[in-house]
């Protein structure tokens, strides 16, 4: 029986922490859909298409990973895609309360849906997209935070937005 999971997020931009969770999920499940949230209430630094391109670039060598985007309720998107579960990474206890509330809400909307939490590895417990954007905007080195193949594009965008 094939198991499909969705790893949702804004991925603005994708970090090494995100990539770690995606790779670990890909080892545990048959099909991993990495779904970029399109949220009209937010103003991301990178367009949906750019975020998807970054994800495609950094996961291109992982056979069972698909990159997509969605707008609306995650639980409904999971129904549409036939997903068995949602995989979320947790960095710290502070992440758990919000993610726990979301898991309960998603379960109410889609009773068949499970949420699986993966703990961030020690190297990325502090890592967030907003921290990466801030460091890059200030001219700091983000080499240890994002995949090499997208680093220069992130730095260029953040320095341009700062001007």
Task: Report the 10 Å Cβ neighbour count for 145.
Answer: 23
Which of the following is catalytic: 10, 18, 51, 88?
18
Active site includes 31?
Answer: no
Of 40, 42, 94, 163, the catalytic one is 42
* Active site annotation includes 162: no
**107 part of the active site:** no
CB 71 within 8 A of CB 38: yes
Let me know how long the chain is.
163
55 within 8 A of 21, measured Cβ to Cβ? no
Contact 36, 63 (CB under 8 A): no
163 included as an active-site residue: no
Active-site annotation holder among 91, 107, 151, 157: 91
Computed on alpha carbons and rounded to an integer, the radius of gyration of the chain in Å comes to: 16
> What would the DSSP string read from start to end of 25-65?
HHHHSSEEEEEEE--TTS--SS-HHHHHHHHHHHHTT-TTE
Residue of 10, 31, 88, 129 marked catalytic: 129
Q: Which two tokens stand for residue 6?
A: 């969705």
Catalytic annotation, residues:
18, 42, 91, 129
């Amino acid at each position: 029986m094939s198991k499909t999971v969705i790893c949702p997020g804004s991925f603005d931009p994708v970090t090494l922490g995100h990539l770690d969770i995606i790779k670990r999920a890909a080892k545990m499940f048959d099909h991993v859909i990495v779904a970029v949230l399109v949220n009209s209430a937010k103003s991301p630094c990178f367009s949906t298409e750019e975020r998807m391109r970054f994800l495609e670039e950094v996961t291109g060598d992982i056979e069972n990973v698909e990159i997509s985007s969605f707008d609306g309720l995650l639980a409904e998107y999971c129904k549409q895609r036939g997903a068995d579960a949602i995989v979320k990474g947790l960095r710290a206890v502070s992440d758990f309360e919000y993610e726990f509330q979301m898991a309960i809400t998603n379960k109410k909307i889609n009773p068949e849906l499970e949420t699986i939490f993966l703990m961030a590895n020690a190297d990325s417990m502090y890592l967030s997209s907003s921290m990466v954007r801030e460091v890059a905007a200030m001219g700091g080195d983000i080499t240890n935070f994002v995949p090499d193949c997208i680093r220069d594009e992130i730095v260029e965008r953040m320095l341009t937005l700062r001007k």
